[in-house]
């Protein structure tokens, strides 16, 4: 029915396990007190390449046949998926072509090149990125990997839920940042299969709330001029991720820019974890007035999606 299922997610877990970190749950009594419930943080900021993205990226790369893989892979990304694909291709020993916008932060471009990938710069528009990636694929024979709207990627991201429920089987809810929806889709599919009744809650900025609008209307909505410090959450839901969000995600909690920055400060100062704004959206959601009104959620997991912060552009500088 959906792009992935529990079997494909379990297979992805076996596939990626030798190559990624199994991130250990972190707790913080001060944040528990602020939230009024037990919080369990899944620190994917400590994952390979600094985000959850290698789970899906590596799974997609690993599933390519030898003949197809030898021609390489291509994707377009200005951030975490770019690094994930570059790293995954390097691990398999195949070429990677990463299309990045010309205004991408220099440290991210350098990181992608550091993993051995070829960077192809283009104009900073989605249309230019897609057209350039298509041209690179045509010229090289490389296989295009989508950052979130691809079954193998969704299955890989779902491995987060397997680990969470192995470590904390008594969870009442999992709160996940929502951008393109690949991570929350994989988590929702796995968690609902393993523990029916668990709440899956998305955290999304008011300034990039296509998932909330899509869930409210029952129709996939476009992302309209997204404006948020959480740059990883500016992407719209895909054709594969929207049905999962519609059917298996219980609610989307929207948060303000001020709430995201406040949560980021708390995360850095109370847990000593360097988490990017997108990864702090779940804490912002859990501390919000809307979440305070949700009963029966005493043990809540929060996925800290990444830690690739531009230290020259901190939101409180």
Determine, yes or no, domain membership for 239: yes
Last residue of a domain, one of 116, 144, 172: 144
CA dihedral 58, 64, 70, 72 (to 10 degrees): -50
pLDDT at 105 over 80: no
CATH number at residue 259: 3.40.50.1100
Q: Are residues 26 and 160 in the same domain?
A: yes
Number of domains the chain is built from = 2
Q: Using an 8 Å Cβ cutoff, are 229 and 314 in contact?
A: no
70 pLDDT band, cuts 50/70/90, is: very high
- Cβ-in-10-Å burial (0-12, 13-18, 19+) of 11 comes to middle
Last residue of a domain, one of 144, 173, 200: 144
pLDDT at 294 over 90: yes
Q: Are residues 227 and 307 in the same domain?
A: yes
Q: Are residues 249 and 203 in the same domain?
A: yes
Q: Are residues 111 and 180 in the same domain?
A: no
Task: Over range 212-240, report the average pLDDT.
Answer: 93
Using a pLDDT cut of 90, give the percent of the chain over it. Answer: 87
Determine, yes or no, domain membership for 276: yes
Determine, yes or no, domain membership for 1: no
pLDDT tens per residue across span 124-141 = 887 898 899 999 999 999
Q: Are residues 192 and 62 in the same domain?
A: no
Q: Are residues 19 and 112 in the same domain?
A: no
Last residue of a domain, one of 144, 162, 186: 144
Q: Are residues 110 and 210 in the same domain?
A: no
Determine, yes or no, domain membership for 187: yes
Q: Are residues 137 and 163 in the same domain?
A: no
Compute the mean pLDDT over every residue in the chain, rounded to the nearest whole number. Answer: 96
Residues with active-site annotation? 53, 78
pTM over 0.75: yes
Q: Are residues 42 and 70 in the same domain?
A: no
Q: Are residues 85 and 16 in the same domain?
A: no
Q: Using an 8 Å Cβ cutoff, are 309 and 295 in contact?
A: no
Task: Over range 158-174, report the average pLDDT.
Answer: 98
Q: Are residues 159 and 262 in the same domain?
A: yes
Residue numbers of the domain that contains 136: 54-144
Task: Over range 281-294, report the average pLDDT.
Answer: 97
pLDDT at 305 over 80: yes
1 pLDDT band, cuts 50/70/90, is: confident
Least confidently predicted of 59-63, 210-214, 301-305, 312-316: 312-316
Q: What is the DSSP string of the chain?
A: --S--HHHHHHHHHHHTTTS--PPPB--HHHHHHHTSEEEEEEGGGSGGGBSHHHHHHHHHHTS-HHHHTT-EEEE-SSHHHHHHHHHHHHHT--EEEEEETTS-HHHHHHHHHTTPEEEEE-SSHHHHHHHHHHHHHHH-PEE--SSSSHHHHHHHTHHHHHHHHH-TT-SEEEEE-SSSHHHHHHHHHHHHHSTT-EEEEEEEGGG-HHHHHHHHTS-----S---S-GGG-SPP-TTHHHHHHHH--EEEEE-HHHHHHHHHHIIIII-----HHHHHHHHHHTSHHHHT--S--EEEEEE-B----GGG-TT-
Determine, yes or no, domain membership for 208: yes
171 pLDDT band, cuts 50/70/90, is: very high
Q: What pLDDT sits at residue 237?
A: 96
Q: Are residues 74 and 38 in the same domain?
A: no
């Amino acid at each position: 029915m959906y792009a992935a299922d529990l079997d494909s997610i379990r297979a992805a877990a076996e596939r990626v396990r030798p190559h990624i970190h199994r991130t250990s749950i972190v707790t913080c009594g001060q944040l528990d007190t602020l939230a009024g419930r037990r919080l369990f943080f899944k620190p994917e900021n400590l994952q390979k390449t600094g985000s959850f993205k290698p789970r899906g990226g590596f799974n997609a790369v690993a599933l390519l046949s030898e003949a197809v893989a030898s021609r390489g892979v291509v994707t377009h990304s200005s951030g975490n998926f770019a690094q994930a694909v570059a790293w995954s291709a390097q691990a398999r020993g195949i070429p990677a072509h990463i299309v990045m916008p010309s205004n991408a932060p220099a440290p991210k471009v350098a990181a992608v090149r550091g993993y051995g990938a070829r960077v192809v710069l283009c104009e900073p528009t989605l249309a230019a990125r897609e057209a350039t990636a298509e041209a690179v694929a045509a010229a090289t024979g490389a296989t295009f990997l989508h950052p979130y709207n691809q079954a193998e990627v969704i299955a890989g991201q779902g491995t987060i839920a397997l680990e969470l429920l192995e470590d904390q089987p008594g969870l009442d809810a999992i709160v996940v940042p929502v951008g393109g929806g690949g991570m929350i889709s994989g988590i929702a599919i796995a968690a609902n299969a393993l523990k029916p009744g668990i709440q899956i809650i998305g955290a999304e900025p008011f300034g990039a709330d296509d998932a909330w609008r899509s869930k409210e209307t029952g129709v996939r909505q476009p992302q309209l001029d997204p404006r948020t410090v959480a740059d990883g959450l500016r992407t719209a839901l895909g054709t594969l991720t929207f049905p999962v969000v519609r059917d298996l995600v219980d609610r989307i909690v929207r948060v303000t820019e001020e709430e995201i920055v406040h949560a980021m400060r708390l995360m850095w100062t109370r847990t000593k974890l360097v988490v990017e704004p997108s990864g702090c959206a779940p804490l912002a959601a859990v501390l919000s007035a809307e979440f305070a009104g949700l009963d029966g959620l005493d043990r809540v997991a929060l996925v800290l999606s990444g830690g690739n912060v531009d230290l020259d552009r901190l939101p409180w500088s």
